[in-house]
Amino acid sequence: MEEEIEDIAGIRIICQFEEDIDTVAAMIRDRSDMVIKSEKNYLKHIKQSGYRSYHLIIYYTVDTIKGPKKLQAEIQIRTMAMNFWATIEHSLQYKYKGDMPGHVAERLSKAADAINALDHEMSSVRNEIMDAQNSSQMQRNLITDILNNIENLYKVTNKREVEKIQDEFYHIYAQNDLQELKRFHKELDLIAEGYRAQAITDEL
């Protein structure tokens, strides 16, 4: 009997962002102790009520006093916003005993659209923050390389030439222009490589 019930056990996984849902679902598919029976994507195929979530029905083997038994379980994956909406909708369905008034259902549907817009907006905000963090890290790496190159140039060429290069770097750094910094970094690499090659030739 238990083997036939799909939700004798249930797990709800709450994600911060909608794109995390695919990542979590992939992690579940990769598990060796679970077998996926079916998947229902209510993110792409939204229910008429506005319900959005990702469901998986899995087979999972548990140890009992009578030996191993394969049971089915349901895993629901959704965002915090989706879960908030689903909790309210479930409570109202219970209150109205499945016969929800049309005007309430309509307001819930509009709220579901707002929840969807909120999830997308939060994902966009996260992407902007991540892009900014990546740009900042790239800028720090470029500056470190440039300063190392300038320091090494003092060892292989005359001080005046290096000071000119250093002044140009300070000017570009003050502009806070990542593209200009990339250009200068590339040019400085070529200059430094040329001086290193010349130093090796002189030694020979």
- Which domain CATH number covers 25? 3.30.460.10
Among candidate residues 19, 74, 106, 193, the one labeled active-site is 74
Residues in contact with 122: Cβ distance below 8 Å, sequence separation at least 6, in sequence order: 16, 17, 81
Domain boundary among 59, 82, 100: 100
Any domain includes 187: yes
Q: Looking at the predicted structure, is the pLDDT value of residue 203 above 80?
A: no
Check whether residue 81 and residue 151 sit in a common domain. Answer: no
Number of folded domains that form the chain: 2
Contact by Cβ (8 Å): 14, 8 = no
Q: Can you give the pTM of this predicted structure?
A: 0.68
pLDDT band per the 50, 70, 90 thresholds, residue 157: confident
Do 166 and 82 sit in the same domain of this protein?
A: no
Q: Is the confidence at residue 115, as pLDDT, over 90? A: yes
**CA angle (187, 188, 192) in 5-degree steps:** 125
Let me know if residue 107 belongs to a domain: no
pLDDT of residue 197: 65
Q: Which of 50, 82, 100 is the endpoint of a domain?
A: 100
Same domain, residue pair 68 and 151: no
Residue-level pLDDT at 13: 97
**Mean pLDDT (whole number) for 120-130:** 92
Q: Are residues 17 and 92 in the same domain?
A: yes
The predicted pLDDT at position 153 comes to 85
| 191 touches 198 (CB < 8 A) | no
Q: Is the same domain home to 95 and 145?
A: no
Compute the average pLDDT of residues 161-183: 88
Instruction: For residues 94 and 137, state if they share a domain.
Output: no
Q: What is the pLDDT of residue 192?
A: 80
Tokens of 162: 């290096």
Whether residues 91 and 150 share a domain: the answer is no
Residue 173 or 21, more confident? 21
Say whether both 137 and 63 belong to one domain. Answer: no
Q: Which residue type is seen at 27?
A: M
Name the more confident of 158 and 189: 189
- The pLDDT value recorded for residue 177 is 87
Mean pLDDT is lowest, of 116-125, 148-157, 189-198, for: 189-198
Determine, yes or no, domain membership for 113: no
Contact between residue 13 and residue 77 where contact means Cβ atoms under 8 Å apart: yes
Q: What integer is the mean pLDDT of 164-182? A: 88
On whether residue 170 sits in a domain, the answer given is yes
> What pLDDT score was predicted for residue 3?
56
Arithmetic mean of pLDDT, 64-68: 87
Mutual angle of helices 159-175 and 178-203, in 10-degree steps: 160
Q: Is residue 121 in some structural domain? A: no
Give the residue among 107, 111, 51 at the shortest CA–CA distance from 79. Answer: 51
Mean pLDDT of the chain: 88
Q: Is residue 29 part of a domain?
A: yes
Angle at 116 (CA atoms; ends 114, 120), nearest 5 degrees: 115
Residues 19 and 91 in one domain: yes
Residue indicated by tokens 């923050």: 129
pLDDT interval class at 70 (50, 70, 90): confident
Told to judge if 19 belongs to the known catalytic residues of this protein, a careful annotator would answer no
Segments forming the whole domain that contains residue 45: 2-100
φ/ψ of residue 32, rounded to 5: -85, -15
Of 51, 81, 100, which residue is a domain's last?
A: 100
More confident residue, 77 or 70: 77
Q: Give domain status of residue 20, yes or no.
A: yes
